[in-house]
Amino acid sequence: MDKQAIRESVWDALEAEGIARFPFPPHGRIPNFDGAKAAAERLAGLPEWEDAEVLKANPDAPQLPARRAALRRGKTVYMAVPRLRDEECFLELDPAELADTDAAATVSGMGDHGVQVAPDAVPHVDLVLSGSVAVTEDGDRIGKGEGYSDLEFAVLCELGLVDEATTVVTTVHERQVVDEAFASDDHDVPMDVVVTPERTIRTGATGRPDGIDWSALDDERIEEIPVLELMRG
């Protein structure tokens, strides 16, 4: 199956089986799901999470409980501004500087509470929390199809801020763990750990990209993203 067919199948199943949670519909987004809080609690029990001081997280609804848990535990969280539209393309959420960590962790609140910084102001990232539409037990991930998550990872990787010591995880519903094979692109970031409300899957994934795949980006795409223009020089 191709990636879009798998996306549609998962979105349809989450909606039809009553698994999807607000915002609706699940289609066209990283879908929120029943059990997202339980998955976040399971994630918070992992040693990689306990040891992490700096996280880079996606802003989507199903990972909100994990972002809040990170801030409550004193971890600094970075989230990208929408579509990487600024040179200072990351928002820093330092719990020591936040009056309301719960509000700061939301997509609507991160801009009001966070401090916008350039990628080279981000410290080494210990753990990357990704949102997924679908994922395999081998760690292959399908996002919603826009590619920004992989670009954010690539930018940080290019600067040496994520590396082999960085753990990449996702939280999903069991219904999002798929058996269907699909082709991954060279810039796709595999998941080291997949966490559902019921289990933790250590994937043994390899083949992590080591920077920006310029050959996969046309001039129009680069011109839309200031940090890429800056890095290309």
- Residue 163 CB: number of other CB atoms within 10 A? 12
Instruction: Tally the domains of the chain.
Output: 1
Q: What gap in Å lies between CA 62 and CA 38, rounded to an integer?
A: 11
Residue 196 lies in a domain: yes
| CA-atom Rg of the chain in angstroms | 17
Residue 29 lies in a domain: yes
What letter represents residue 54's amino acid? V
Residue 233 lies in a domain: no
Residue 133 lies in a domain: yes
Q: Digits of tens for pLDDT over the chain (233 positions)?
A: 899 999 999 999 999 999 999 999 999 999 999 999 999 999 999 999 999 999 999 999 999 999 999 999 999 999 999 999 999 999 999 999 999 999 999 999 999 999 999 999 999 999 999 999 999 999 999 999 988 999 999 999 999 999 999 999 999 999 999 998 888 887 899 999 999 999 999 999 999 999 999 998 999 999 999 999 999 87
Q: What gap in Å lies between CA 190 and CA 80, rounded to an integer?
A: 19
Q: What gap in Å lies between CA 133 and CA 6, rounded to an integer?
A: 9
Q: What is the CATH number of the domain that holds 145?
A: 3.40.50.10420
Residue 86 lies in a domain: yes
Is residue 124 within 8 A of residue 78, CB to CB? The reply is no
Assigned token pair, 182: 């699909």
Q: What gap in Å lies between CA 117 and CA 110, rounded to an integer?
A: 13
Residue 24 lies in a domain: yes
Residue 195: give the domain boundaries: 3-227
To the question of pTM greater than 0.85 for the whole model, the response is yes
